[in-house]
Amino acid sequence: MPQFPTDILIAGQWRRGSGEPVDTIDPATGRVLATVHSATAEEVAEAAEAGARAMAEPAWRNLLPHERARVLHRIAALTEEAADELSALQTADTGKTLAETRALALSAAGTFRYIAAALETAEDALTPPRGAYLTMSVHEPIGVVGAINPWNSPIASDAQKIAPALAAGNAVLLKPAAWTPLVSLALGRLTTRALDEFGLPTALLSVLPGSGRVVGDALVRHPLVARVGFTGGTSTGRSIAAVAAQKLVPASLELGGKSPTIVRADADVEQALAGVMFGVFSSSGQSCIAGSRLFVDRGIYDSFVGELVARVRKLRVGPGTDPATQVGPLVHHDHRDSVAAYVDLARSEGARVLCGGTAPEGELHRDGAYYLPTVLDGLPNSSRTCQEEIFGPVLVALPFDDEDDLVRQANDSVYGLACGIWTRDARAAWRLARRIDAGTVWINTYKQFSAATPFSGWKESGLGTEKGRDAIRAYQRQKSLYWGTSDAPLPWAH
């Protein structure tokens, strides 16, 4: 069993938060793992002020990019070394399988390494002058950054914000979700250890768990917070964007989705079956990019969906610590109840429940927040079940007649996060990939990620981009320098 942290990281100090206590539970058993006392608005202010002071310290301010990259490499190495411990911690806190949480810890390390490499190789542009001067565009840190994350993949989404924000020269206030603070606190410990080893101010990172209403809101509103990086639900994103707009500070928003997965009649059926199941049921469907709307060519609809349902029934649902488990519990019993309520809504809308539609029975599942992988059909794309994000192991299948019908239905959504296309026809894949409204399209694969490839949501799935080389620039401000080269005075010299 890993050690469960209970102290929080405020302005470089580990101490008990002064806010409300929140029990974090193991959703496989309902057992309380740790009670973490939340931060308060005053502690958010303390962290913001200390972060601003730390940013101004010469040790950090004057650190050259290749030196800052070494710090990021050290965080990556510490994260990699601790991968097993981080994985056990995250599985206990979120219910995800150990295979997935280990991959997430390694992906966080990979993000720090990639951003370090991007930092070392970033260049500023000398722009063509239009007068007697040299012109140059440089990039400065933006200030104290607020990073707010949801509970579904904490360490990976933490790294996607902390790495570029530190690379850019900022200080970071990280607010993990109230249900899952443990792995973010552990990453905080590794990051401050690396900062300390390099003699840098540890107040460059604070980790401030607590509710969105108290801690998240205080963080976004604090005058020193000059940029917000947010991942979470669309309605929360909208209210954060409203506050940021009032303050006139940038906010990037990675929000919800209801992504279409398309199976054409010419698809490799074996690949498509495995891909569709993995795309929606891995992480128990608690993934912004889950392929939760399945569009199948009407000509193969009955046979494909029939075989899919037969295989979904065989998925192994159990604790994330069992290597045989494919679908773990949901993050929390309250969330399981909200998923169950959505399936009840689907029934009331007239859905056929082809499999699942209930919590599993038996001793193993009795106390956990489990829900069976569920396949529904018989609903139009306009139904609430097809339009709203359920964020659980629920797939809704729909037939399509031709490409125009498919594109119309797939794009008829407020979301535009991701899409999967299963086909052997390269030209059809190209046409479809270009016509679908989505920030990411996978062709004959799904849920693959590279730190080097930009990630962004279209429509109500988000605003702004994470990952890729430009991730660092998104946490900087541009400054243009004009450097006079003429000995002649400007016209008003006399």
Q: Which residues make up the interface to ligand NAD (CB under 6 A)?
A: 148-152, 175, 177-178, 211-212, 216-217, 220, 231-233, 236, 239-240, 254-257, 288, 389, 391, 417, 457, 462
Q: Is residue 161 annotated as a catalytic residue, yes or no? A: yes
Give the Cβ contact number of residue 403 at 10 Å: 15
CB of 149 to ligand NAD, least distance (A): 6
Question: From the CA atom positions of the chain, what is the Rg in Å?
Answer: 24
Question: Considering 43, 46, 254, 389, which one is annotated as catalytic?
Answer: 254
Of 375, 395, 372, which Cα lies nearest the Cα of 306? 375
Tokens 């429940």 found at: 353
CA distances 85 to 73, 80, 150, Å, are 19, 10, 21
For tokens 């390269």, the residue is 426
Nearer to ligand NAD, 76 or 255 (CB): 255
Which DSSP helix (H) or strand (E) runs through 86? helix 83-94
The residues pairing with 174 across neighbouring beta strands, listed in sequence order, are 147, 207
The closest alpha carbon to 194, from 100, 116, 272, belongs to 116
Q: Which of 43, 175, 288, 459 is catalytic?
A: 288
> Which one of 96, 161, 258, 459 is the catalytic residue?
161
- Report the residue number, 11 or 253, with the smaller CB distance to ligand NAD: 253
Residue 225 or 296: the one with the smaller Cβ distance to ligand NAD is 225
Among residues 201 and 285, whose Cβ is nearest to ligand NAD? 285
Q: Is 291 helix (H, G, I), strand (E, B) or coil?
A: coil
If the CB atoms of residues 221 and 435 are measured against ligand NAD, the closer one turns out to be 221
Q: Which is nearer to ligand NAD, 40 or 423 (CB)?
A: 40
- Residue type (1 letter), 295: F
CB of 282 to ligand NAD, least distance (A): 14
- What's the 3-state SS for 119-146? HHHCCCEEECCCCCEEEEEEEEECCEEE
Active-site choice (96, 258, 466, 467): 466
The token pair at 388 is 């709203």
85: annotated active-site residue = no
Amino acid code (one letter) for 220: V
Residue 410 beta carbon to ligand NAD: minimum distance, rounded to whole angstroms: 18
- Closer Cβ to ligand NAD, 295 or 415, answer by number: 415
Residue 254 a catalytic site member: yes
Interatomic CA distance for residues 183 and 176, integer angstroms: 9
Distance of CA 259 to the CA centre of its chain: 15
| Residue 218: closest CA among 384, 41, 359 | 41
CA distances from 440 to 141, 291, 351 (A): 29, 12, 29
Among 96, 217, 235, 229, CA closest to 158: 229
Minimal distance, residue 192 CB to ligand NAD, in Å: 21
Q: Active-site residue 466, yes or no?
A: yes
Q: Which residues are known to be catalytic?
A: 161, 254, 288, 466
